[in-house]
Amino acid sequence: MSALELPHRFGRYLLFDRIGQGGMAELFLARQHSTLAADRLFVVKLILPVWAERQDFSEMLVAEAKLAASLQHANIVTVWELGREEGRLFIVMDYVEGFDLAALLKRCSKEKVALPTELALHAVSELLGALEYAHKKDVVHRDVSPSNVLVSFDGEVKLCDFGIARANAAISEQPSEAIQGKAGYMSPEQARGEVLDGRADLFAAGIILWELLAGRKLYRGGDLIEQARAADVPELPARGLPDEPKLHAIVSRALARNRDDRYATAGDMRADLIGWTVAAKLTANPIRLGDWLQRHFGEELVAQRRARESAAKSLDASPKPAPALLTPEPASISYKPDEPTPESLSPIDISPPSKQVATASKQKSPPWLVIAAGLLILAVLAWLIAHH
């Protein structure tokens, strides 16, 4: 399919800004009109046709997306819908206005702005909160990396793309660049192709924490898969932080080569990290994170986004489809007409259901019947008066 010309009406969504593309999908910022509230922004992820046409990939993606949609947590991006439209498999997620952590760190490097240590540690603790919740639901992310950690101008930290990695694993002939891109945050057991549990996600979170403290990538150059298998982690440089050996011990435990030597749960690792930040007086909160992000990077990005959204609204003169909040009609997922659609491929749409209020209607009597009834009552009253 050729590149979309924006703005583009895509089912019930208006795509008005292309915000990214990877080896599996392209991402668009979109809005959905609702008569109940102001227009709401979403991210619509269009799976590239080369993958969406693969039934093994599609079935796994749908199953995992349904699982992801069941995760409702403040630090996890909500998945709202999955379906097919214009021959494209798509996923609809909440829009988090800000940066992913990878983009934020690149922006910091480019503009020579240091991310304060307390804000970096706060982001990791929030990430661990998301993992703690997901692991209790028996959901392993498998692709925890800075590009999947979103930081908003409101100071929110949210983990996205649950289940995408498992769907990718269903494809044996993934592009080598896609595999190498993920290898920088793989646990040794994942690089060896072993069965994973939540401790693989903790290893990835440990790499993110190591890189934030070191100010550089853990693995650089060469074969990243081989480096991930070896898991040779250099010592962190000293930065003069309070009780620094204890902080480094937290990172080392998360990055233990043998998973049995790592933290057993994300909650355990989070408790140790928060305990260190409290003792070191380096605590932070969403307000401080949001204010810092807005102050350094917010004005230009938000202004550009608002301008594109305004242009999209002015060009959107086409009739709007029925709002999903009133009459949910998600796009269905279908394949070849001669193949029955598997039950697992039903669309996801967890929009709030419309409330159906049953009201008893009263039928109005015809006017002549009302007049006749009135005259009869008067006649009865006159008879009663005359006989008394």
Residues that are catalytic: 143
**Beta pairing, strands 348-349 & 79-85:** antiparallel
DSSP per-residue letters across 242-302: TTHHHHHHHHHHHT-SSGGGS-SSHHHHHHHHHHHHHHTT----HHHHHHHHIIIIIHHHH
Which of 42, 8, 41, 4 minimizes the C-alpha distance to 21? 4
Whether the Cβ atoms of residue 254 and residue 263 lie closer than 8 Å to each other = yes
Separation between Cα atoms, residue 47 and residue 85, nearest integer Å: 11
Neighbours of 122 (CB within 10 A): 23
Residue with tokens 């214009």: 86
Separation between Cα atoms, residue 13 and residue 83, nearest integer Å: 12
